[in-house]
Homo-oligomer: A and B are copies of this chain.
Amino acid sequence: MKQSEMLLPTLKENPADAEIKSHQLLVRAGFIRKVASGIYSFLPIGNRVLKKVEAIVREEMENAGAHEMNMTALQPSEFWKETGRWNTFGPELMRIHDRHHREFALGATHEEEVTALIRDEVKSYKQLPLSLYQIQTKFRDEQRPRFGLLRGREFLMKDAYTFHQSYESLDTSYEKMFNAYSNIFSRLGLNFRAVIADSGAMGGKDTHEFMVLSEVGEDTIAYSDSSQYAANIEMAPVVTQYEKSMEEPKEKEKVATPDCKTMADAANYLGHSLAAGLKSIMFKVDEKLVMVITRGDHEVNDVKLKNLYDASFIDLATEEETRTAMGAGFGSLGPISTPDHIEIVADYAVEALVNASCGANEDGFHYKNVTPGKDFEVTQYADLRFIEEGDPSPDGQGTIQFAKGIEVGHVFKLGKFYAEKMNATFLDENGKANTLIMGCYGVGISRTMASIVEQYHDDNGITWPKQVAPYQVHLLALNIKKEEQKELADRIYATLKQAGIEVLYDDRKERAGVKFADSDLIGIPLRVTVGKQAGDGYVECKERVSGEQSDVHEGNLLDQITSFINQ
């Protein structure tokens, strides 16, 4: 493609609203342009990358036996009302009505629509399993769109849905999809982890998020330094075996702890480490008050607490609720002489403590030398804390490290959640109606494109991996007004095109400095520069990533390029 004929506007400055590299570089290098907050157009060169990511996703979906289809953006509100998500999805779901005042959702996702379709079209177990996918624009009205393509309001997604007669069949499809996702992100050259995730309100069972490791990620991943284990930090179980202290239990002692508002204040005042104190927090669990105790240096993981109680609602108690129940405020709570109707649950780490300190349920007072079992009983010990760096990995291999991740994919065993609500059934071998079992699987295509830039850039611009680079070769004619340069560059352009190589040809009447800077910014893997040596038939080849460069004669150029591409 001749650059002079293309809409490829580069910018010297970062856009004011672009905080992260992918946002800055994709705008500066002419790949995307903002239309409104969280809404981006893809300029031609950006569209090329998008199409390459799409092609890899499509190939892996087909390999996994999924069939491409194309559902609609306008979705009747009736579908969403059947599952209740018309209300629960909240303002993120964009809503519109037609001239006849009929309400529609703008497709944020397609569980409802695909379930409605399959409910109508699948009658018999003979038609199962089914695996369907689409690549389509989605709409979600994010409260705070930001980071360019990473958190947009209109974005490209691949979403897939599978339908099954049995959970075993779902497991098989889930594994195929899981592998397809691993292939996709591997082929894209991404440093990622498949992370055990929370199934949350979707009502499903197993679920994994595919996370691209990146400082700008909004999720924290706990991963093993010695195995493939990785989980969303909320989901990682703590398997630490705590050794009970050998210390002799002493008599508990009530002491004044004036002006101690926090665990740290109290530990400091009492002259012991954070780990030697008990942290007591009041939670509302489905309207019941529960005291949760962890070691002073640990943090309560509320997902674990919620799962322990199989609760549908969980929240911190307010200071007022706490004081009413306990007679003391946040800084002075403890498990000794709590009212009988308040359950106490404690993290396993607490069980191992001897002679710890805790709040006395009286403002400004703590107990010293408190030992669980001796001074108080708990309803239950459980794994209730967040995992920490250095903890043993739950799979028994290595220790846990933390990383930040960008969620680019999600696989999810939905089970019967949607089919039950939408009454989607099939007849089994005995002519009996059964509820369909479902899985769903998403890849954020445009978000993945941005994630690639997060992992592939340097100070001068983007450094696209070959498989998704918008072009394979960037051909520069440094001074297009010099006949010998133009002639050689034109000839090389024709030869490369002829050979089926994707080449962007900078034939603009611009200074060499501008061309070099733009080329680095755009980030095509191989740069071929036609300059002063054009008269001798020599050009310069430079690899974008390594910076390796060499002078190559026109006659050897195609070989050199082909070998670089196939390297």
Contact = CB atoms under 8 A, between A and B. Distances in A.
A96 to B, nearest CB: 5
A42 interface: yes
A132 B69 CA distance: 27
A98 interface: yes
Nearest to A4: B126
A47 B68 contact: yes
A535 interface: no
Interface in A523-546: none
A6 B70 contact: no
B106 A99 contact: no
A39 interface: yes
A308 interface: no
Contacts of A98: 94, 141, 153
A47 B121 CA distance: 17
B7 A113 contact: no
Interface stretch (A73-81, A269-277, A361-369): A73-81
Contacts of A340: none
A246 interface: no
Interface string A278-321: 00000000000000000000000000000000000000000000
Interface string A106-123: 100000010011101110
A99 B47 contact: no
A116 B72 CA distance: 27
Contacts of A7: 67, 69, 118, 121-122, 127, 130, 132
Contacts of A132: 7, 44
Given A7-B121, A141-B98, A41 B67 contact: no
Interface in A362-408: none
Interface string A25-68: 00000000101100111111011101100000000000001011
A154 interface: yes
A143 interface: yes
B99 A143 contact: yes
Interface residues of A, number: 62
Contacts of A117: 33, 41
Nearest to A68: B47
A102 interface: yes
B40 A72 contact: yes
A5 interface: yes
Contacts of A65: 5
B44 A68 contact: yes
Contact of A99 (B42, B91, B122): B91
A139 B74 contact: yes
B33 A73 contact: no
A1 interface: yes
A36 B67 contact: no
A325 interface: no
Contacts of A137: 73, 137
Interface in A172-189: none
Nearest to A42: B70
Interface string A85-112: 0000001001110110010101000000
Given A5-B65, A44-B69, 10 more contacts: A7-B67, A7-B69, A35-B113, A35-B116, A41-B113, A44-B68, A73-B154, A74-B154, A91-B99, A98-B153
Interface of A: 1, 4-7, 9, 33, 35-36, 39-44, 46-48, 50-51, 65, 67-76, 91, 94-96, 98-99, 102, 104, 106, 113, 116-118, 120-122, 126-127, 129-132, 134, 137, 139, 141, 143, 153-154, 508-509
5 pairs of A and B residues whose beta carbons are closest in the complex: A44-B67, A42-B70, A91-B99, A9-B121, A96-B96
12 contacts: A1-B67, A33-B117, A35-B71, A36-B104, A41-B70, A41-B71, A43-B69, A47-B70, A73-B73, A74-B154, A91-B99, A96-B96
